A = this chain, B = another copy of it.
Amino acid sequence: MTTTTRSEFDQGIALARRPGEPGLYDGELDAGWQIGGGVNGGLLLAVAGHALSLELGEHGEHADPVSISGYYLSAARPGPATVRTEPVRQGRSLSTGTASLSQGGEERLRVLATYGDLAGAEDDVRTTARPPQLPPPEECIGMEHAPKALIKQAALLERFDLRLDPSTVGWAVGQPSGNGRIQGWFRLADGREPDPLMLLLVADALPPVTFDLGMPGWAPTIELTVHLRARPVPGWLRVSHATRNLAGGYFEEDAEVWDESGRLVAQSRQLARAPRPQ
């Protein structure tokens, strides 16, 4: 493998260049990233995003995703996966490329993305966005209190140190708020610090907001776009997920990720299929 470290996340997105096949990478989807029967969509986006980072960052400084869109085609399973990347345009400050993640010849995820250098981001910040107001992590609800049925379906929760705002976890005890919002503190259980690729995982890490609408069941992602707005500093991340429009069998889920310095580091939106009535 060209990239290995000891953190679970770095192992999860590790890729080896296939010798003699430019742009082709081999990886392994670990069973520990499963949720609801498939491998988590945020982890898949981070795997494909990692391949593009290696590809677009190779001849320049464009190793950070700035905007990345993933279209989910079929459920990924634990086991080997390949990522084929293709550059689209190499620019001065931004480069664009595509990636296709497949297993056994079946495509799981197609990605289109633009990369740049987030370290070079200008300091001008004029934002009206405010981080979610959360009780301190020690007063939030850790996953050790999650319903057993949820943990069983979501192996990946054991890799997260996720502390949900008590005001947004009524669904876990049969009392969803109906607001369509879940928020909390996030870090990886093994202490691996956040970086742009890890934010791709975080954008799809919280339970579906439909839980808070009283709709249990998994909500398959159709499309997920993440905008990376700054490099995160080490420490806790604050994450909010919310939906405003469940209609016609689909809903959007907007996520915001804030770092410990109080900066909005990622904004994402996904379109997902509403859970089927159970």
Question: Taking beta carbons and an 8 Å cutoff, which residues of A are in contact with B?
Answer: 66-67, 69, 71, 73-74, 88-89, 91, 94, 96, 98, 107, 110-114, 118, 121-129, 179-180, 213, 222-223, 225, 227, 229-230, 244-250, 252, 263-264, 267, 269, 271, 274
Q: Which of B66, B110, B267 contacts A112 (CB 8 A)?
A: B110
Q: Which of B69, B74, B98, B250 contacts A223 (CB 8 A)?
A: B69
Min Cβ gap A74→B in Å is 8
Closest to A274 in B: B124
Given A129-B245, A245-B229, A112 contacting B252 (CB threshold 8 A) = no
Copies in the complex: 2
For the complex, what is the distance from the CA of A263 to the CA of B71, rounded to whole Å?
25
14 A–B contacts, CB within 8 A, in A order: A66-B271, A67-B222, A69-B225, A73-B91, A111-B112, A124-B248, A223-B227, A225-B225, A227-B250, A229-B248, A230-B247, A230-B248, A245-B264, A269-B269
Closest to A249 in B: B122
Q: A73-B96, A225-B225 are in contact. List 6 more A-B contacts (CB 8 A).
A: A66-B250, A98-B112, A127-B245, A127-B247, A227-B250, A247-B263
For the complex, what is the distance from the CA of A99 to the CA of B126, rounded to whole Å?
35
Closest to A230 in B: B248
* A227 near B247: Cβ-Cβ < 8 Å: no
A225 contact set on B, CB distance < 8 A: 69, 223, 225, 269
Min Cβ gap A42→B in Å is 17
* B67 near A223: Cβ-Cβ < 8 Å: yes
Given A122-B249, A223-B69, A110 contacting B88 (CB threshold 8 A) = yes
For the complex, what is the distance from the CA of A73 to the CA of B126, rounded to whole Å?
26
A124 contact set on B, CB distance < 8 A: 246-249, 274
For the complex, what is the distance from the CA of A124 to the CA of B245, rounded to whole Å?
11
Q: Which of B67, B114, B122, B223 contacts A248 (CB 8 A)?
A: B122
* A128 near B180: Cβ-Cβ < 8 Å: yes
Q: Which of B88, B223, B244 contacts A73 (CB 8 A)?
A: B88
A71 contact set on B, CB distance < 8 A: 67, 69, 88, 96, 112-114
